[in-house]
Structure 1
Amino acid sequence: MTFLLLLAAGVLGGCIDRLDFFGDTQGGQLVIYGMVNDTDEVQRLEISRTNLQGFNPKGEDGASVTLLTQDGRRLRYTNTGNGEYQLAGFKGTPGQSYSIEVIIGKDLYESTVQTMPTILAVDSLEFRFGREMLSSEAEEGVFVVSATTNFQEGDNSGFFRWTAEETYQWQRTWLPCVGLCPPPPNPCYISDLMDPNRINLFDANSTRTRQTRQEIAKRAVDNSFIGIFYVSLKQHSITRDAFEYWRKIDLIVNNRGSLFDIPPAPVYGNITNKNNPDEIVLGFFEVARVRYTRKYVNPADVPFFLTRPCDIVVGKPAEDYAAECVQCEVRAKGRAWTTTAPEWWFKD
């Protein structure tokens, strides 16, 4: 049984969900995952191949990726490297249908046609701090994000999935100087998915309730909270096919290995090789309506002591400060980052 890390998170506003698969896969199997939504975000699709012995999938570059629309348009994606493909300047339309076409060498891969849902629900975002057992033997501070969702009168159907994304401000160290001094550096804005292996699903067809409340994400409290910390709740209104795909993924991710559990196995999506129908292709192409709900945390809201490694100390030379105090890339540790505040910063 191999461990497969399918997809890495992208930048906030265009995150491709990071998900851990547990299953019997073979080295070199093709993995395609992408989404088209109705926002102004850049639309993204990832192509990779599985590796044996638990290594991360290897990005597949050089493919031709085309979005096929209901009105007959063929829109080409741009390969940006490491298996990521982007389509800028396009957003989906609720009620319209889309599919994806991928050409790799002589092989033609196509998804089933997916129709974008028309409904959305209204989310209310909440958070709390507490102490819980996470990965260690001792209790530690945790930050928990929850959401209450209200469905409009008459909207007693539909399928939904939620993810939480974080963006926090990291103020870089700027030492005082005398005379003509450069301006202080812009802060870092560092983004990532929260609790990426948690899958939050709701089938509104299975209940008559107009409201649901659920815990969305949980993470340990660290010095990411010494500046403004934003949580972006991302609601996806998805198709039945996508709901069933994520439901199966959830069953595998939450399989704890009891005697009566279903053995882990790969989850097959909606993409096939037209030249070789017997090839097993992992991943999924989905379409979704998306709605963001955002809320920020002030440092004063945090009830725990936070270390501040980058505070200026009189007489401390610049070279004695940690690299994360001056370099966003070092602080981000592989997460998405920028020195420009997101357009919604303090506007939502």
Structure 2
Amino acid sequence: KFDVIETFEYHSELPLEYYYDGVLHHIDPPDSSHMVCWATHQIKDIFILNTAGLQENAYKRFLLHFVDNTTQRLKHLYSILVKQYAIDEPGYVYWDQVRQNNLEQGSMYETQPLPAKGNLVNLTNPEQEVLGYFQVSSVKTKRIFVKDVPDLDFNFYPECGIWLLFQALRFYDPRFYPVYLATIDKSIREVSPDCIFCEMSILGGTTTKPDFWPE
């Protein structure tokens, strides 16, 4: 059984240069401290492999995870941490059933999921079903970094919203303060907060750099 955890670096579009909250604030030099973020996510897919029918207890080029070109994930630096667990046959059967149930959910031809019977027991009520599987196993880990993928063209729209100023700042509704502004093409434009603060991206990261991240 394999667990996969991804970590990647991504950037916002603009530094903090101006904002208005009833008073216009000019940040000089512009603050770029919120332009670089790192996000870490556990991959929810279940990856299992059975080598019982192979000539040797080894398998090469097993597909663990796929990352497409529709986000910033591969734009700067990407990493996965792979954890490999040695599990017994009952454990393999359990996780394989869980995997199949997950794959069939939402399918047009969805079938009634089969119960994935684990090995946990409720001691106070043995008749009550308990979900999960407990096993002590050896584990191997490996971290992989991916950078500058050859011939990779990105196909995503920036989250950053940029607008012309249609009215004087003093007429903005205070409920929407602060209003963020930036110099773009030699003119002042209103920009959405995620243009500046990478923490506000749907990618879900923070400005805290992981300890294992290279300089």
TM bucket by the smaller chain? 0.5 to 0.7
Cα distance in 2 between the residues matched to 1:175 and 1:257? 48
Match runs of 1:13-162 below 5 Å = 161-162=1-2
Question: What secondary structure sits across from 2:52 in the alignment?
Answer: helix
2:41 aligned residue: 192
Identity value in percent: 19
- Note the C-alpha offset of 1:277: 0.7
Residue 346 (1) aligns with residue 180 (2): no
1:278 aligned residue: 127
Contact 1:252 1:264 (C-alpha < 8 Å) held by counterparts: yes
Match runs of 1:289-304 below 5 Å = 289-298=139-148, 302-304=152-154
Higher relative contact order (CA 8 A, sep 6+): 2
Cα distance in 1 between the residues matched to 2:9 and 2:212? 14
1:133 aligned residue: none
Larger radius of gyration: 2
Query: TM-score of the superposition, structure 1-length normalised?
Result: 0.43
Aligned length: 179
Contact 1:166 1:229 (C-alpha < 8 Å) held by counterparts: no
Cα distance in 2 between the residues matched to 1:243 and 1:170? 36
Cα distance in 1 between the residues matched to 2:51 and 2:200? 43
Cα distance in 1 between the residues matched to 2:152 and 2:47? 26
2:72 equivalent among 201, 224, 229: 224
- Note the C-alpha offset of 1:291: 0.6
Going by fraction, where is strand more abundant, 1 or 2? 1
1:327 aligned residue: 197
Contact 1:272 1:280 (C-alpha < 8 Å) held by counterparts: yes
Unaligned runs of 5+ in 1: 1-160
Residue 166 (1) aligns with residue 21 (2): no
Distance 1:225 1:299, change over 3 A: farther
Partner AA of 1:294 in structure 2: I
Distance 1:205 1:192, change over 3 A: same
Distance 1:308 1:254, change over 3 A: closer
Moved over 6 A (4+): none
Cα distance in 1 between the residues matched to 2:153 and 2:64? 21
Residue 242 (1) aligns with residue 91 (2): yes
Cα distance in 2 between the residues matched to 1:227 and 1:273? 48
Distance 1:326 1:226, change over 3 A: farther
Contact 2:199 2:207 (C-alpha < 8 Å) held by counterparts: no
Distance 1:189 1:211, change over 3 A: same
Unaligned runs of 5+ in 2: 19-25, 163-181
- Note the C-alpha offset of 1:331: 0.9
Q: Deviations over 1:256-302 (max 9, x none)?
A: 676xx974133232222111111111123344413123122337752
Contact 1:266 1:282 (C-alpha < 8 Å) held by counterparts: no
1:208 aligned residue: 55
1:307 aligned residue: 157
Distance 1:226 1:191, change over 3 A: same
Question: What secondary structure sits across from 1:280 in the alignment?
Answer: coil
